[in-house]
Amino acid sequence: MASTSASEKPSVSNVEENRSRLCSEFAAITGADSAVAQCYLVENEWEMQKAMNSFFEADLENVFAEDMSEDSESSSKRKRQKMEEKPPAECIDLTGESPVSTRKPSEEDDHKLSLISWNVDGLDTDNIGERARGLCSYLVLYTPDVVFLQELIPPYVLYLKKRAVSYLLIEGGEEGYFTGIMLKKSRVKFVESEKVTFPTTQMMRNLLVAQVTFKGQKLCLMTSHLESCKAQAGERMKQLRVAMQRMREAPDDVTVLFGGDTNLRDTEVAKVGLPPQVSDVWERLGKQEHCRYTWDTKANSNKALPYVSRCRFDRVYIRPATKEGVPRLAPDHMALLGLEKLDCGRFTSDHWGIYCSFIAA
């Protein structure tokens, strides 16, 4: 795959262009930020007048505030069970398919697999309602088939289940903080999932694995939040070995995608080594400089740190299917998400998100 220079702006579909234009117009008229604009436009089927009318009548923050107030364990479990059975009637899907355009996607676009991986920093509860809506706004714009999330907390999960009902959300835990995988129901068929324990973790970390099918292709999706901090390099490399072993041992008719907040340094990856056929998506796409740093305290002010740190903590790896006659997915495009501040003056997360797309090679 030929590399793309940082100066080249990725092309976007007509749908994305139209959505962006409507959001800009809504924001210019109402004074709202882009995340709020996208939420109201989707809620009102991208009809500008209806969206503006509802803008002054609703307060989406109340939805998240109610979830945050549910601190009883039994109440939380009841809410989760109810939502898993059937989304409440009052739920508004902020991530559904948009009627903004009736054009039929090209065959190439239809068969592309898209993925977002993001540490959403749920442990930071400041402005968490607006930041959660910020995440939903990117789900609206990019409509990814698969989403890897790290640092989820139970109220964040409840919010996503209310507002992203076009996705199936698989949770990597129930208490504290954990990972999750979201699957676009109209595009990805869920088969089964499992949680793989990291036996010596000190930070509640594990490997969340989901077996799915996409356009008839078998996929193994894996996400994790590997052990944090420089001093935990040994444990982090142990966890990476577990993930790489899973990638290596997957059947040859299965494509494996592993991504998340890995906290990895390049020297640690070199020590562990990648199995044959496994590659780093960022490296495969030419190591584009504008996608290098996903943790960047120079540009991201969510954490008030007295030093500058720029690291490629968030990564995506692929091991294509190798069986003859089975489509081989290859990386096609990568971009960073969440680079714009929300109306609250903060970013969606202290990490940038990663957007990737894959095509049949």
Give every CB contact of residue 344 below 8 A, 6+ residues apart in sequence: 127, 130, 131
Q: What is the pLDDT of residue 38?
A: 83
Q: Tell me if residue 261 is catalytic.
A: yes
* CATH number for region 107-360: 3.60.10.10
Beta sheet of 217-225, edge-to-edge order: 188-197, 206-214, 217-225, 254-261, 314-319, 279-280
Do the first three CATH levels of 15-55 and 107-360 match, i.e. the same topology? no
Q: Tell me which of 43-52, 96-105, 183-192, 205-214 is least confident.
A: 96-105
Read off the tokens for 81: 């069970």
CB-CB contact of 22 with 41 (8 Å): yes
The 8 Å CB, 24+ separation contacts for 324-327 are: 326/217, 326/252, 326/253, 327/217, 327/360, 327/361
Cα dihedral 96, 97, 101, 103, rounded to 10, equals: 170
Catalytic residue, chosen from 33, 121, 261, 296, is 261
User: How far apart (Å, rounded) are the C-alpha atoms in residues 132 and 42?
Assistant: 16
Distance CA 74, CA 71 (A): 9
CATH number attached to the domain at 15-55? 1.10.8
Q: Which residue has the tokens 């500058």?
A: 308
pLDDT value for 89: 38
Res. 87: pLDDT tops 50:
no
- The better pLDDT of the pair 22, 251 is held by 251
Of the pLDDT bands very low, low, confident and very high (cuts 50, 70, 90), residue 16 is confident
- Range name among 104-108, 122-126, 228-232 with the lowest pLDDT average: 104-108
Domain boundaries, the chain: 15-55, 107-360
- Mean model confidence pLDDT for the chain: 85
What pLDDT sits at residue 110?
A: 85
Higher pLDDT, 322 or 21: 322
pLDDT one-digit tens code per residue, 24-53: 877 776 667 777 888 888 888 888 767 766
pLDDT at 208 over 90: yes
The single residue listed with the structure tokens 């509802």 is 54
CA neighbor of 247 nearest in space, from 273, 217, 267: 273
